[in-house]
Structure 1
Amino acid sequence: MRLPSPLGISGPSLWLPPERQSGAEAVASGLVDAETAGELGYSALPVAALAPPEMAVEAGREALSAAGVDPAAVGLLLHAWIHYQGHDLWSPPHFVADRLGADGAVPLGVQQVCNGGAAAVELAASRLFVEPGLEHALVTTADAFPDPGFDRWSGDYGIGYGDGATALVLHHLPENGGGRPADLVLHAVTTVAAPRLERMHRGDDPFGPAARSLGPKVDIRRTKKAFLRDGGMEAFTEASGASLRTVVRRCLAEAGLSAADKPLRYVVAPRLGRKTVDLAYAPPLSELTGAELLRPGADTGHLGAGDAAASLAELHARRMLGPGEYALVVSAGAGFTWSCLLVSGA
């Protein structure tokens, strides 16, 4: 999406629980074999005691405080997630808004699987430009992957799942009509999709009447095996490579940059396992941008819907971007959908 003008990102926050399960502990406990743990490359995965919406509240408080925004000034709250939030037939975003004191916000849920956080930023950006009077949008994500319903180390190929939450405030900038200073500047957010790949997370399974009616755990390996058994690897590799190249080129073009522009300092991969990033992301991203490739997540794992926002939080916390220096943050999710967020230092 080409933005009519850049937007500000303030208070980008990553909230992680204090408890960790190291790769060595997981191997010793029989949760994952040593070879797979090595390919994943995670030093540890965070393990939460709080429910995901409670974590989102913690991240939201940090973001609003850091941004200096009164919760009452939030007009839109978007919450994204991929896994169970703690109650059936219930609205997590309304819980987050209530607990934060964002009584004037319209709470909306975004379920675009692992690309949900990036999708929420894109939706919030759209609303800021078309809705008069909307000054602050809060985007939160939160996920937890506990036993017995989810095997965080071995339930998927090439990905380990960590618990945590993110939040950020999206708003107009001072130079674009009454906005406020920002921590990062959002110049473009672009998304492409390949719906023909949806079966990778459905496989041959029949439609069930309720969650986990086919088994006691979420089993992503089962559905991927069925997809790959029918020749899906070639289709996935082709579609993934083409979509990733398209979304990167389009995002840079919409911001008026080329891949050779020196201000693009970093390109940030999703928080997938090391081998997955090496095979599927590193070659095209390095080829297309020439920027330094960042591989975040060794100490977080894949954060469900929160990968992109977590990387924005770390770029800001580590002061990695000066004014006019750019980073391209890449996000991906089942379906399949790929997004890029182009940001700079403020």
Structure 2
Amino acid sequence: MKFDDVYLSGLGTFVPDLVTTEQAVQSGWYDSDVREASGLESVAISDSLSAPEMAVLAAKEAIRRSGIAAEEFGALFHSSAYHQGPDGWSPAHYILTNTLNTPITAMEIKQGCQGLLSSLAISAHRLACDSRKSAILLTAADNYSTPLVDRWTTSRLSIFGDGAASAVVSRTGGIAKLLSIGTRSAPAMEALHRGNEPIFPPAVTVGKGLDYEARVKFWMEEWAKGNTPPMEHPGEVLQSALDEALEDAGIAASDIKRVCHPSATLDALRDQFLDPIGFSLDSGIWEHTRKVGHISAADVFIGLEHLWSTRQVGPGDKVMLFTGSPGFEAGVAILEIVAEPA
């Protein structure tokens, strides 16, 4: 998908206090050998501030930075990977009430870690069709400090972090211009993220915790029995999305200065993503992601704000954002920075 005159006019983030992985080992939460292999230094943890409340804080910063008035916004899209609050309640409208407070549509886009990137694409499409409004507000947030999640052990690929990110998407200029978005899915891989867990009743309704490792163990046992998992290499799926995004942006991979990637252990980041698409660790944001943890859909936008606000990228630089979500689906957005931080 190629885009014209679509911008990130404002970025905002909220990252709570960090807890070191060394402290986690000392407290008995995290295995010392796993910590050593992971390369992860710390993770952002919020004991009490809810995901929607963190989203409000990030959104207020993004709106302020954009300089766009509330009446210019046409919609709010909120993304998350885990539960946000009471069942039958709308976190998107809570965020809307406490930020823009205007009578526009507000909805959740539930696509796991890729939700905010997909929200960006949907926003661009909406702006192309709605001449009356010039901006869309995007938010993403999660808080894993709940009784049914052990952030340290639920996945061998990352440590789940808490936090939020927000972006104002508009036709009026700003921080970065959106050049293109590419996506690719491998739908048979949905079974990998399901394992042998029943679809109904949902696990959370019967008090069962989130445990990705149990699903991995199930498929390893099936493989040992001769039942091959429905597996494609995530890096190959990501490469297809990248090829599409590069073609639509009219640039080559060598034109990309920096890469914003999800937070993952060092081996997972290299083996599943960076190495297959031919990007080095130095081109990414490993030194940042190893400190904050995997903050689901907010991850790469927190990384983008970090690169921009610390002036590691500037006007003319091309930045790639990539994400992956259960399904399996990979997405790539290519941006050109057009402004420096004030």
TM-score (norm 1): 0.90
Which has the higher mean CA deviation after the structures are superposed, 244-253 or 96-105? 96-105
Counterpart of 2:285?
294
Matching of residues 237-252 of structure 1 within 5 Å? 238-252=232-246
Counterpart of 1:317?
309
Contact map agreement 1:265 1:291 (CA 8 A) in 2: no
Secondary structure of 1:207's aligned partner: coil
Residue 110 of structure 2 aligns to which amino acid in structure 1?
Q
Q: How far is 1:197 from its partner?
A: 0.7
Q: Is it true that 1:91 corresponds to 2:90 in the alignment?
A: yes
Residue 39 of structure 1 aligns to which amino acid in structure 2?
A
Structure 2: 5+ residue stretches without partners: none
Counterpart of 1:30?
28
Q: How far is 1:192 from its partner?
A: 0.9
Residue 217 of structure 2 aligns to which amino acid in structure 1?
K
Contact map agreement 2:180 2:248 (CA 8 A) in 1: yes
Which of residues 209, 214, 224 is equivalent to 2:201?
209
Equivalents in 1 of 2:71, 2:56: separation in Å?
15
Which has the higher mean CA deviation after the structures are superposed, 296-305 or 314-323? 314-323
Structure 1: 5+ residue stretches without partners: 173-179
Secondary structure of 1:250's aligned partner: helix
Q: 1:291 to 1:249 in 2, by over 3 A?
A: farther
Secondary structure of 2:334's aligned partner: strand
Contact map agreement 2:219 2:229 (CA 8 A) in 1: no
Counterpart of 1:175?
none
Q: How far is 1:268 from its partner?
A: 2.6
In the TM superposition, what whole-angstrom CA distance separates every residue of 1:42-63 from its partner, at most 9, and x where no partner exists? 2211111211001101111011
Which has the higher mean CA deviation after the structures are superposed, 213-222 or 77-86? 213-222
In the TM superposition, what whole-angstrom CA distance separates every residue of 1:246-277 from its partner, at most 9, and x where no partner exists? 1111111100012233xx21123221222210
Counterpart of 1:254?
248
Secondary structure of 1:12's aligned partner: strand
Over the residues paired in the alignment, what is the CA RMSD in angstroms? 2.0
Contact map agreement 2:8 2:177 (CA 8 A) in 1: yes
Q: 1:102 to 1:154 in 2, by over 3 A?
A: same
Equivalents in 2 of 1:206, 1:184: separation in Å?
43
Q: 1:113 to 1:332 in 2, by over 3 A?
A: same
Secondary structure of 2:336's aligned partner: strand
Q: How far is 1:161 from its partner?
A: 0.6
Residue 147 of structure 2 aligns to which amino acid in structure 1?
P
In the TM superposition, what whole-angstrom CA distance separates every residue of 1:188-231 from its partner, at most 9, and x where no partner exists? 11111111111122111122324424553111111122233333
In the TM superposition, what whole-angstrom CA distance separates every residue of 1:98-118 from its partner, at most 9, and x where no partner exists? 111331321011000111111
Which of residues 267, 278, 297 is equivalent to 2:270?
278
Which of residues 298, 308, 325 is equivalent to 1:306?
298
Counterpart of 2:66?
67
Equivalents in 2 of 1:322, 1:312: separation in Å?
12
Which has the higher mean CA deviation after the structures are superposed, 200-209 or 120-129? 200-209
Equivalents in 2 of 1:65, 1:204: separation in Å?
46
Corresponding pairs, count: 333
Secondary structure of 1:82's aligned partner: coil
Secondary structure of 2:292's aligned partner: coil
Matching of residues 112-131 of structure 1 within 5 Å? 112-131=111-130
Equivalents in 1 of 2:68, 2:127: separation in Å?
16
Equivalents in 2 of 1:154, 1:334: separation in Å?
18
Contact map agreement 2:18 2:292 (CA 8 A) in 1: no
Matching of residues 54-203 of structure 1 within 5 Å? 54-172=53-171, 180-203=172-195
Secondary structure of 1:206's aligned partner: coil
Equivalents in 1 of 2:292, 2:336: separation in Å?
24
TM-score (norm 2): 0.91
